[in-house]
Amino acid sequence: MANVVVVGAQWGDEGKGKIVDWLSERADVVVRFQGGHNAGHTLVIDGITYKCSMLPSGVVRQGKLSVIGNGVVLDPWALLAEIEGMREKGVAISPDNLRIAENAPLILPVHRNLDQAREKAAGSARIGTTGRGIGPAYEDKVGRRAVRVGDLSHPDLIAGKVDTLLLHHNAILRGFGQPEVDREELIAALSELAPKLLPYADCVWRTLDEARRSGKRILYEGAQGAMLDIDHGTYPFVTSSNTVAGQAAVGSGQGPGAVNYVLGIAKAYTTRVGSGPFPTELTDEIGRGIGERGREFGTVTGRPRRCGWFDAVLVRQAVKINGIHGIALTKADVLDGLDEVKICVGYRLGGEVIHHFPANPVLQAQVEPVLESMEGWKESTRGARSWIDLPATAVKYVRRIEELIEAPVAMLSTSPEREDTILVRDPFAD
């Protein structure tokens, strides 16, 4: 059986929720392998909207095992609140269908405090984080100060880890003029948390290995997008984890051979939340119109997204970095009614045209898009379920994208409804 990784091929918010939901119906196990509750997927099933931030999308479907891997930084209080919210909507969640890696690091209140203090102090130079503590939690993971899920079963271990953690954090908080964290209060909070979280703790790498050996289909669900990757994104305006497909193996305790197919998700245009370079950004009426029609507001933050033309240079770069086999192109219907659509086919930099996005932030800010114009389409593509339902100019637009990004369109999404999908190739069929 094929195991599939789903990754964003732009700056996140590509519409992964619908595609992951569509695929999760065909999977046996759904794994979240990186990030925190700073990213979310919106699922619409039988008219009910579900918003997943920490939980893998598979939890909304009966008979699926959902796994939070070691590559995730976990806010336990946010997770428990999300579980309760799902239960209120009739979704049963228990250790029978949700497992959490025992070696996943926890996001603690001190991480949120530090995240927000840094952003406030940075002023206009702020990165644009969600302020939820994801970056500081990853720093503590790398700094070997993290409190991890499995640690909660040993109170003596927790006390020592909290001492190490606060030695570092309280010094920084003092520097920002912020109140220090109370040791006893934090230890008490973790003690209260332990019996609620520990039932879900599991040796995830072993569980997934057994699932793979028994022939079960595994879906690895990525959050955010390739251009937000800590190594390969628009640094420093990136997230604090690796968002690329290779992280699926690392962040779940599996070898590279566990992955058979990489599906990249890209919008038929481009969006970005927060600060950072955006070569094809539209600040005019067209950009505002795309944002309004596409309802471009963050699932988690509610922040409006910046909108622009499809950037084939960035997506082609994501294809190469992730080893993407096929693309799911989403929200083509948002471009309905435009007289003209444009695609970025290169960047102009210092009098020459280049065909990759440079890593240097100075150069990133200087690139100008080389745009190719194409005829738009007046007919509606919304709800189309086969190629013959699409206007000829819309098909031409998709085919040109395939040429430029050097990858086929495996799926085309034409509305938020899961049935409104043109399937060219089922990733699980490989």
Which string of DSSP letters, residue by residue, matches 72-83? B-B-HHHHHHHH
Cis status of the peptide bond prior to 236, with omega within 30 of 0: yes
- Which is catalytic among the residues 41, 169, 232, 325? 41
E strand or H helix at 201, and its extent?
strand 201-202
Q: For residue 46, indicate whether it is catalytic.
A: no
List, in sequence order, every beta strand (DSSP E) within 33-162.
41-45, 48-52, 65-68, 98-101
- Catalytic, 13? Answer yes
Task: Tell the residue number behind the tokens 């369109």, with chain if given.
Answer: 409
Half-sphere exposure of residue 105: CA atoms within 13 angstroms, side-chain side = 27
Q: Can you name the residues that pair with 327 across neighbouring β-strands? A: 264, 409
How far is it, in rounded angstroms, from Cα 103 to Cα 373?
50
Pair type for strands 65-68 and 306-308: unpaired
**CA pair distance 305, 177, nearest whole angstrom:** 32
Q: Which of 13, 140, 151, 333 is catalytic?
A: 13
CB 389 within 8 A of CB 421: no
Please give the structure tokens belonging to residue 400.
């040109």
By residue count, the chain amounts to 430
Quote the CA–CA distance of 289 and 282 in Å, as a whole number.
10
Q: Which residues are catalytic?
A: 13, 41
